[in-house]
Amino acid sequence: MKSEFTPPIGKISNVNGQCISMIGNDIDTDRIIPARFLKCVNFDLLGESVFEDDRKTLKGRHPFDLEENKNASILIVNSNFGCGSSREHAPQALMRWGIKAIIGESFADIFYSNCIAIGIPCFTLPKNSIEEIQNYCDNKFLFLEIDLKNSFATGKDLSLNLEIKESSRKMFLSGEWDATSTLLENENIIENKFNELPYINFNSRFS
């Protein structure tokens, strides 16, 4: 896990970082964060336990344990990533390890939605493109700069036309993905609505 964690906030138009590859289809949420960690009272320490069982099995050879990946923030995956249970702990664990964006062949719907809700853009590419990137990552350091406005990523000797749901892209660019910040920015509107509701406004009920 990275030494410091700063959650994303507000508008997100660009993401950049080193890529880390996880090869395999149907990697489910129980592998991403095993069920025994769901008893936590907050998400703060989940990054330490991401892929816990897989990492124990591989004894230091897991991608999330390799020294060259310690600063990686863009995860490259295959198809149906995040399938299985709907636990929001899975993207929370990835984010707290340091992942800021995910590029894959496809994502499980609920996992995708949970990622969007906490500020992790998820992009898709065809199978052959993902495999090319993963092969590149196995041999070389790959740093990508992702432009959400144009759904485009660039790296050394590499240009990618990424796919992302238009509704998700607009949410990131506008900051609407960030429900808490949106609520705070509209505090006056909320207060006015609160005062209009007769079953909440006690002064109007008893005047």
Q: pLDDT tens digit string along 171-185?
A: 999 999 987 666 666
Q: pLDDT-derived band of residue 206, with 50, 70 and 90 as boundaries?
A: very low
Decide if pLDDT at 194 tops 80.
Answer: no
- Full set of structural domains in the chain with CATH: 14-176 (3.20.19.10)
Percentage helix, strand, coil for the chain under 3-state DSSP, each rounded to 5: 40, 20, 40
Q: Rounded CA gap, 147 and 159, in Å?
A: 11
As a whole number of angstroms, the distance between CA 33 and CA 79 comes to: 18
Predicted TM-score (pTM) above 0.75: yes
Please state, in angstroms and rounded to a whole number, the distance separating the CA atoms of residues 146 and 167: 17
Look at residue 15 and tell me whether its pLDDT is greater than 90.
yes
Alpha helices, DSSP H only, in the chain? 29-32, 52-58, 89-97, 109-118, 127-139, 166-174, 179-185, 187-196, 202-206
For residues 77 and 105, is the Cβ–Cβ distance under 8 A? yes
- pLDDT value at 202 more than 60: no
pLDDT of 1: 46
What percent of the chain clears pLDDT 90, i.e. is strictly above it? Answer: 71
Cα(190)–Cα(170) distance, rounded to whole angstroms?
23
Integer Cα distance of 96 and 2 in angstroms: 8
Show the tokens assigned to 58: 């591989």
Res. 93 pLDDT band, cuts 50 70 90: very high
H helix or E strand, kind and range, residue 71: none
26-48: average pLDDT: 89
**Please, which pLDDT band fits residue 7 given cuts at 50, 70 and 90?**
confident
DSSP 155: E
Q: Average the pLDDT over 50-56 and give the result.
A: 96
Cα distances (Å, whole numbers) of residue 174 to 34, 155, 164: 34, 25, 15
| pLDDT category of residue 6 using cuts at 50, 70 and 90 | confident
pLDDT exceeds cutoff 70 at 204: no
Share of the chain above pLDDT 70, in %: 87
How many C-beta neighbours within 10 Å does residue 204 have?
A: 12
Q: Name the average pLDDT for the chain.
A: 89
Q: Is the pLDDT of residue 191 over 70?
A: no
